[in-house]
Amino acid sequence: MNHPDEENELLSRLEADMGSHSGADAGADVVDLGKARSARTESPDSAARPRPDSSDTGGVDESGQTTARPLVDGPDVAGPGYLGRLAGAKRRAIVPAWLRSKAELKAAASWVARHYAHLAGYHALRSPVYVGRLALQAPRGAARFVGGSLRWIADREGEPVRLAAVRREDVGDYLKLSRQRDGRVRLRTLVVALATLVGTITALALYVLAPGWFQAVSLGALVLALGAAGGHADAPVVHRAVEVTKAPKLTSDIVLRALGALGIAPISQAQAKGRDGFTFTAPITRDGPGWRAEGDLPYGVTVTDVIERRDKLASGLRRPLGCVWPEAVPDEHTGHLVLWVGDQDMTKAKKPKWPLLVSGVVDLFQPVAYGTDQRGRWVEVTLMYIAGVIGAIPRMGKTFLLRLLLLIAALDPRAELHTYDMKGTGDLDPVGNAVSHRHAAGDDDDSIAYTLADFRELREELRRRVKVIRSLPRDICPENKVTSLLADKRSLGLHPIVIGVDECQVLFEHPEHGKEFEEIATDLVKRGPATGIVLLLATQRPDAKSLPTGISANASARWCLKVMGQTENDMVLGTSSYKRGVRATMFAWGDKGIHYFMGEGADARIVASTYVDAPGAETVAVRARQVRQKAGLLTGHALGEAPEQVTGPTYDLLADIVAVVPAAEPKVWSETVAARLAELRPEVYDGWDPEALAAALKPHGISTLQVGRRIDGKVVNRRGIDRSHITTTIAERDGRRDAG
């Protein structure tokens, strides 16, 4: 039988052959595939070699000239040489990863110890019941023993053969067998007589000589042995103490059976023809608490096709869905499948304890463990230099994940936290109230105003930081970004700022301030990471409205729990993630906290975030607060201080002027502008006169000028503004900002 790749190669050669003839008689060639195949089978590598005869390398055209057929297959020597192959070879780890992990070994050892301690306790408690049951079964055991011995003496096992000889009326055989039986019976009778004698003497000796306890033990052992012999197969005396989860060994047959059941045509067709439909490239091995199989799918089948049918794969493997994790290997071809089958469902498997739950602080510039992968190994995240997006359908663990990340941030005493729980259920309160510089919960007007004021402050802070970084000497700030050392220098004010917003769509969809929130958040996402400002946005409705594309496209860290469709998936995980097989749609409803994590240029990984409930979060936050208190780094909301800007929010004067002066009015008197501004935002502009406006415009480099207006036929000159000056200044400012 030909291998599929050989067949494909053959077909492409035939196509090439047909193509070469097409000039003379296009489409007229009839190719006998059967013959061609058998020719191919006879000479397996002949197709790859250019053949010398002219009929194969070309043809003869009408003018009698030989036409050279372009050779598509190279000469014999193909591919890298020995050294090249060695350089490109993939070395398997000498010590498997799971053996290198001390934590994993420790966990395994303690599981084994606890398992046997449980067994011992369970059976010790039930041992009197076991003894009673065995004693009850002992008479039956004794009867079986006597009956069995008598049958043995009488050579009952030979009886069927003797009867067969009788039926055949074969006198010779019968006599031979009878003689043999007589000899056997004599010998066995002797053995039994001797054993009975020895047994009786031993019993008598024990009765006379042995101490009482020894007699009791011996009698007990005899009764138990007879009890065990008298048992029924369907009524075991000793019951199971542990229902061991049946995690059968993953074999190649099981993998092939499961792949064959996926309904992927090329695999099914190959298997129907007696081939495997999957080529294992490495032996199936233990990998952490599970099995790992690796190999190539048939041509044209991608790992994505398998991931899409994860539920069918689980059915084929006869394992729970949470145990079955097909994955693509990023630097391999798209048909290279790694199948990891865990012993236990990922959601149910016991997770290691999060070390930060009980002790320790964090350096946000360093990676910090926040979850575990399918194999139970820690997955780390570096919260600095990122802008992150968390997306999921409701109730999958989005808020818990955001809170977990904020707890990590809280444990770096330098980090200034701004926490916004727009859902308003108080999920972020443990962090917010303990350590946050700014914190609000709910989507009422006060919370929105508070958040807006803070966002405006953050925008100013971002601008300040950009200037500070630009002004720092190269040797101190070589990469033009905040480093851990720079963050330590309090005089520079470049400490990490971590902003977490749950249900961020509330901000971006706000009828009045939505655009401004979007503008500031986009700026923070784009320029924040380098300046030490980290924005983490969580939403349960990842679409273009709730997560503006300027933000979702620029986020460098993405966490995607279960979502329902391709659009949401790609919105959170990045364009064409779904196509590449990174599909958070495959998570089951019960996969709470399980998500795809993509960050820091790394490929998507499946992670189960550490479960820290509200009391746990409170404990960690209290510890974080104590550390901050000691370092004198507790500020703002955590100290009970109200922000200064809430009652008098900062504003964008230039944008406001453009809003109130339409393009049809190129030049307007200052008093008109002031009146319109006061109408737009009375809390800010009420009481402004032309002088106040002129003073406010001065820092922007804009001065007022004489504007003449015809009133009652006379030209009246007053101070005013030229709208084009305002728009030019805005364009310059925004241009600089974008460029920055």
Ligand X SMILES: Nc1ncnc2c1ncn2[C@@H]1O[C@H](COP(=O)(O)OP(=O)(O)OP(=O)(O)O)[C@@H](O)[C@H]1O
Residue ranges that bind ligand X, judged by CB under 6 A: 392, 394-400, 423, 540, 592-593, 609, 611
- Do the beta carbons of residue 389 and residue 550 sit within 8 Å? no
- Kindly tell me which of 388 and 528 has the beta carbon lying closer to ligand X: 388
- Cβ of residue 469: shortest distance to ligand X, in angstroms? 35
Q: Which residue has the tokens 């500031």?
A: 520
Helix, strand, or coil (residue 599): strand
- Cβ of residue 145: shortest distance to ligand X, in angstroms? 57
- Cβ of residue 323: shortest distance to ligand X, in angstroms? 17
The CA–CA distances, whole Å, from 296 to 266, 278, 333 equal: 13, 6, 9
- Cβ of residue 538: shortest distance to ligand X, in angstroms? 7
- Cβ of residue 102: shortest distance to ligand X, in angstroms? 24
- Cβ of residue 381: shortest distance to ligand X, in angstroms? 14
- Cβ of residue 572: shortest distance to ligand X, in angstroms? 13
- Cβ of residue 474: shortest distance to ligand X, in angstroms? 43
Of 322, 323, 329, 325, nearest to 297 by C-alpha is: 329
Give Rg (Cα) of the chain.
41
Q: In the numeric block, which tokens belong to residue 148?
A: 């069995």
The CA–CA distances, whole Å, from 550 to 55, 279, 398, 521, 526 equal: 62, 43, 21, 9, 9
Residue 150: how many CA atoms within 13 Å on its side-chain side?
6
Residue 128 burial by Cβ neighbours in a 10 Å radius (0-12, 13-18, 19+):
exposed
- Do the beta carbons of residue 719 and residue 705 sit within 8 Å? yes
- Cβ of residue 400: shortest distance to ligand X, in angstroms? 4
Nearest residue to ligand X on Cβ basis: 593
Overall size of the chain counted in residues? 740
Helix-then-strand count for the chain, H and E: 27, 19
- Kindly tell me which of 40 and 398 has the beta carbon lying closer to ligand X: 398
The dihedral built from the CA positions of residue 27, 28, 30 and 36, taken in this order, carries a sign that is negative
Angle, CA 128 vertex, CA 127 and CA 131 arms, to 5°: 85
* Dihedral, CA of residue 346, residue 258, residue 283 and residue 584, to nearest 10: -40
- Do the beta carbons of residue 424 and residue 441 sit within 8 Å? yes
- Kindly tell me which of 396 and 721 has the beta carbon lying closer to ligand X: 396
> Taking the mean position of all CA atoms in its chain, how far away is CA 472?
40
- Cβ of residue 540: shortest distance to ligand X, in angstroms? 4
> Taking the mean position of all CA atoms in its chain, how far away is CA 264?
25
- Kindly tell me which of 284 and 547 has the beta carbon lying closer to ligand X: 547
Q: In the numeric block, which tokens belong to residue 371?
A: 């979850």
**Within a 10 A sphere around the Cβ of 340, how many other Cβ atoms?**
21
Of 416, 415, 423, 431, nearest to 447 by C-alpha is: 423
The CA–CA distances, whole Å, from 404 to 294, 391, 397, 410 equal: 34, 15, 10, 10
- Kindly tell me which of 8 and 344 has the beta carbon lying closer to ligand X: 344
Q: Which residues are annotated binding-site positions for ATP?
A: 392-399
The C-alpha atoms of residue 186 and residue 45 are separated, in whole angstroms, by 74
The C-alpha atoms of residue 695 and residue 48 are separated, in whole angstroms, by 83
The C-alpha atoms of residue 678 and residue 671 are separated, in whole angstroms, by 11
**Within a 10 A sphere around the Cβ of 348, how many other Cβ atoms?**
13
Q: Which residues are annotated binding-site positions?
A: 392-399
Beta strands 416-421 and 438-441 are parallel
- Cβ of residue 350: shortest distance to ligand X, in angstroms? 12
The C-alpha atoms of residue 629 and residue 420 are separated, in whole angstroms, by 22
- H or E element at residue 657: helix 653-660
Helix, strand, or coil (residue 643): coil
- Cβ of residue 435: shortest distance to ligand X, in angstroms? 20
- Kindly tell me which of 353 and 467 has the beta carbon lying closer to ligand X: 353
- Kindly tell me which of 364 and 612 has the beta carbon lying closer to ligand X: 612
Angle, CA 159 vertex, CA 155 and CA 161 arms, to 5°: 125
The C-alpha atoms of residue 27 and residue 3 are separated, in whole angstroms, by 27
- Cβ of residue 723: shortest distance to ligand X, in angstroms? 45
- Kindly tell me which of 17 and 373 has the beta carbon lying closer to ligand X: 373
Backbone angles phi, psi at 67, to 5 degrees: -95, 125
